[in-house]
Amino acid sequence: MNISRIIMIASLVLLFAGNMFSQGRVINTTMPCRLLDSITEREYSIYLPESYDKDENRKYPVCYLLHGGNCACTDWDTFGRLRIVADSLIQCGEMKEMIFVCPEGNKNNMIWFNAPHWKYEDFFFNEFVPYIESEYRILGDRDNRFIAGYSMGGGASIVYGLSHPDMFAAVYSMSGYLRRQYMEFLKNDPSAEWRQQLVEDHNPIRRVSESVDEDIASWKNIDWFIDCGDKDFTYEANIDMVQAFRDKGINYQLRVYGGGHDWDYWRPSLIRALKHVSSKIK
């Protein structure tokens, strides 16, 4: 067992031990929906820190967590252990108290972007975020709003940051799916082609590479973080994303660790992401 793995296991033990003292909660629920065709309710999960129910006058920063393809909003807690990680980081003083919101981006149509028959990005920004930030005690300003995601959600986090730079102070992408690549689980899916084309249409590498000065100036105000495993099939695309940022003089952070495209990588990546976005709270 190498030294980095020993350190990570020790860190997790300390985190989970700290969890005995702090108890936030994760709620799996629904919200009214008008902007998604034929959908009247849409699922989401939300983490609320322990103090949320004790101090009714307090408002919190928020981070939106976007899941990967063929996954669900509940996966952040089921497989990523969101509540345990967040509680433990708060208890250990490694993270400030904040709210984490996990929207559903797979059910009905697996995509985070607008399609002719499925206006998901419109739903996210015009319906989902306003609902969440009015329903819960969220600060609701750019300096206290962040976005992160893994795989399909990591790519969408970058695209959302590029398209809405006035919305997020930081973007954290884990193993971001940034451009069309072969996906084994889509090989028999008749809807795969339009979905892959949407991904390519929103390719953030190309968008940054072909950008104009006005866009570059707005993107420089965002804290960009790219986190990817060295054996991940998205590795080359993520390095190309970093190169596009470099070419345009946009600051970023890059971390590459041993691992692939799975929860063995995303669990420790989630710890890094939560600590990082918390450090950006003003």
Write the pLDDT tens digit of every residue in 1-25: 555 555 455 555 555 554 455 699 9
pLDDT digits (tens, 9 = 90+) for 191-229: 778 888 999 999 999 999 999 999 999 999 999 999 999
Backbone torsions φ then ψ of 25, nearest 5 degrees = -145, 150
pLDDT of residue 10: 54
Average pLDDT over all residues of the chain: 92
Structural domain boundaries of the chain? 3-279
pLDDT of residue 20: 53
Average pLDDT over residues 67-80: 96
pLDDT of residue 181 exceeding 90, the answer is no
Residue 182 — pLDDT band, cuts 50, 70, 90?
Answer: confident
Average pLDDT over residues 114-135: 97
Q: Which residue has the higher pLDDT, 11 or 103?
A: 103
The class that CATH gives domain 3-279 is alpha beta
Contact between 71 and 106 under an 8 Å Cβ cutoff? The reply is: yes
pTM: 0.91
pLDDT of residue 1: 55
